[in-house]
Chain A
Amino acid sequence: MRVRVLFFASIRERAGRGEMIVNLEDGATLGQLVEVVEREISAVQGLDDMMISINGRLADDDVLREGDEVAFLPPVSGG
């Protein structure tokens, strides 16, 4: 299955891109996605400690589905 990954702010700059498509086995978890992303982009580490959203909501479910949009969110600083 394919999952769309988004990066913002400091992590977007470290990753050198705002998004990437990751292919995973069906039933893969967020933890497995993190492993793949950290392996592919060595400048991006420690993703487990970040806020993560799935389809625009803070992730409370570990299992990913085809077409999910997963965003890695650095600590926010709006206002």
Chain B
Amino acid sequence: MDKVELIERDFSIDEVCSALRTDGTGAIVTFLGVVRGAGERRVIRLEFEAYKEMAVSEMRKLREEAIRRFGLEDLVIIHRLGPLDAGESIVLIAAVGGHREECFDAARFTIDRLKELVPIWKKEVYEDGKEWVEVRH
């Protein structure tokens, strides 16, 4: 399993977590981002686009930074591309370590930084239109 992936297909959290655990693992914290349908305007689906080469390279750098910073055993980042319907999975972060504290902190750090730095964009598709989401940090 690649530890950083930008893919169209869905992933299995169970498979990812099974592949990650070692004799030293005491905790795995997972963050799963999901397409939210309900909101001010009902979202039917999201359409994701990326600058793939740069996005993968930024995700790799982010993974290495998080592992070093929080003393993790391992970290997986999987982000999906293409059209994703409401309710589908978008992104998985799995932080693996000896203890829960560093895993919680690392999972939050990683998803927050991913949202700020990695060149991936989403367009919200409503019943009566579409709109790019552009978040200014």
User: In chain B between 42 and 72, which residues have their CB closer than 8 angstroms to a CB of chain A?
Assistant: 48-51, 53-55, 57
Residues of A contacting B137 with CB < 8 Å? 75
Given the known inter-chain contacts A9-B49, A9-B123, A73-B51, please indicate yes or no for A78 contacting B114, CB distance below 8 A.
yes
Expressed in whole angstroms, the Cα–Cα distance for A71 and B114 within the complex equals: 19
Residue count of chain B within 8 Å CB distance of chain A: 29
B94 within 8 A of A: no
Task: Looking at the assembled complex, report how far the CB atom of B89 sits from the nearest CB atom of chain A, in whole angstroms.
Answer: 12
Residues of A contacting B118 with CB < 8 Å? 76, 78
Given the known inter-chain contacts A9-B121, A9-B123, please indicate yes or no for A79 contacting B90, CB distance below 8 A.
yes
Tell whether, in the assembled complex, residue A56 and residue B57 are in contact, meaning their CB atoms are under 8 Å apart.
yes
Task: Looking at the assembled complex, report how far the CB atom of A54 sits from the nearest CB atom of chain B, in whole angstroms.
Answer: 11
Residues of A contacting B122 with CB < 8 Å? 77-78
Tell whether, in the assembled complex, residue A76 and residue B136 are in contact, meaning their CB atoms are under 8 Å apart.
no
Tell whether, in the assembled complex, residue B51 and residue A77 are in contact, meaning their CB atoms are under 8 Å apart.
no
Tell whether, in the assembled complex, residue A9 and residue B132 are in contact, meaning their CB atoms are under 8 Å apart.
yes
Expressed in whole angstroms, the Cα–Cα distance for A73 and B58 within the complex equals: 14
Task: Looking at the assembled complex, report how far the CB atom of B112 sits from the nearest CB atom of chain A, in whole angstroms.
Answer: 9
* A8, A56, A74, A78, most chain B CB atoms within 10 A: A78
A37 within 8 A of B: no
User: In chain A between 46 and 72, which residues have their CB closer than 8 angstroms to a CB of chain B?
Assistant: 53, 56-57, 71
24 A-B residue pairings within 8 Å (CB atoms): A8-B49, A8-B50, A8-B51, A9-B123, A9-B132, A10-B132, A10-B134, A13-B132, A57-B54, A71-B51, A71-B119, A75-B134, A75-B136, A76-B115, A76-B117, A76-B118, A76-B121, A76-B135, A77-B115, A77-B135, A78-B55, A78-B91, A78-B114, A79-B120
